[in-house]
Amino acid sequence: MKRHGYAPYLIPGVIASVAVIVVPLVMTVYVSFTKWTGVGSPRWVGFDNYTRLFADSLFWASFGHIALLIIAMAVIPTLLGLVLAAVLFDYIAKHFGDRWAGLFRSGYYVPQVLPVAVTGIVWGWILHPGYGALNRILEAVGLTGLAKDWLGDPDYALYSVMGVMIWFQLGYPIVMFMSGLQRIDPSLYEAADLDGAGWWQKFRRITVYMIRPEFYVVLVTTTIASLKIFGQVFVLTGGGPSNATLVPSYFAYKNFFEKAQVGYGSAISTVLTVLIVILAFVFLRLQNRAEDRA
């Protein structure tokens, strides 16, 4: 039975999306070709903002920091989460019961449900050089030499932020992978046991192979999340010290709201957007091809 006339149901969604997404997006792309302080009318300058951007060492530095944050937010949590999910799913659940596996999973996931700004406050305080808990703990156990200005020293600030982000992200891949593992037919493992396969072999040949869809999704969503990172950096370091933790979104924010260089800020966010969209489509193609082959 063919159905017609559903189009009216799209009207509210289309109007709202045009107002909140399409129009602002087009405006930002337009403004990126102008010089504008936010008052008066923008002055067309062609590609000036972009040529300036690609010559700006801060812009490249901010993307360099993102590369490291991708390691902390995407690569490490995905790999570590894969191992932890497998251990919880086919070791803890089997030997101690599902309740224990579920308990660990929820516990590891807790940092993900806290507001980003609040986790920033927690860590900003723990890592504070003067009254922070970490340095006080190091002093208490006699390792005063290791105490540092974790977030205030340009040599360490980015690594500190990376550490916080691993802590923040780890729960997400664990939950995703554990739900993917439920699809696997237990008889596969039994067959492998009969063939004398060890835990590592089963992990590589069955577990990793079967949850490839989740693996792709986790990797791409966490990578996109690292490209977008703002809140933690805003609260923990404000992009400092001396731009050691500057990231593209914060760089754009500063240009918009602190320096009143709206055209330049728009160029930064346009480049970031293009990068994210390309990444997402490359990922979708890869995933479709992987599904076709399977």
Q: Any residues with CB less than 8 A from the CB of 261 and at least 6 apart, and which? A: 37, 255
* Only segment of 27-35, 57-65, 154-162, 200-208 that touches another protein (CB under 8 A): 27-35
* CB of 54 or CB of 257, closer to another protein: 257
* CB of 38 or CB of 154, closer to another protein: 38
Least distance to another protein from the beta carbon of 58, Å? Answer: 16
- The one among 58, 147, 188, 235 contacting another protein by CB under 8 A: 235
Assess 224 for contact with another protein (CB under 8 A): yes
φ, ψ dihedrals at 83, nearest 5°: -65, -45
Assess 201 for contact with another protein (CB under 8 A): no
| Residues 243-262 close enough to bind another protein by CB under 8 A | 248-249, 252-253, 256-257, 262
How far apart, in whole angstroms, are the C-alpha atoms of residue 184 and residue 181?
Answer: 6
| Residues 28-87 close enough to bind another protein by CB under 8 A | 28, 31, 38, 84, 87
Cβ neighbourhood burial of 232 (10 Å; 0-12, 13-18, 19+): buried
CA distances in angstroms from 107 to 33, 57, 72, 112, listed in the order given: 48, 41, 20, 10
Assess 234 for contact with another protein (CB under 8 A): yes
Least distance to another protein from the beta carbon of 116, Å? Answer: 5
How far apart, in whole angstroms, are the C-alpha atoms of residue 104 and residue 86?
Answer: 12
Which DSSP state fits 10?
G
* CB of 43 or CB of 136, closer to another protein: 136
Closest CA to 112 of 176, 167, 160: 167
Assess 197 for contact with another protein (CB under 8 A): no
- The one among 58, 75, 122, 197 contacting another protein by CB under 8 A: 122
Tokens 């932890």 identify what position? Answer: 84
Assess 282 for contact with another protein (CB under 8 A): no
Q: Are 190 and 264 in contact (CB under 8 A)?
A: no
Assess 206 for contact with another protein (CB under 8 A): no
| Residues 124-183 close enough to bind another protein by CB under 8 A | 124-126, 128, 131-133, 136-137, 140, 167, 170-172, 175-176, 179-180, 182-183
* CB of 95 or CB of 145, closer to another protein: 95
* CB of 203 or CB of 234, closer to another protein: 234
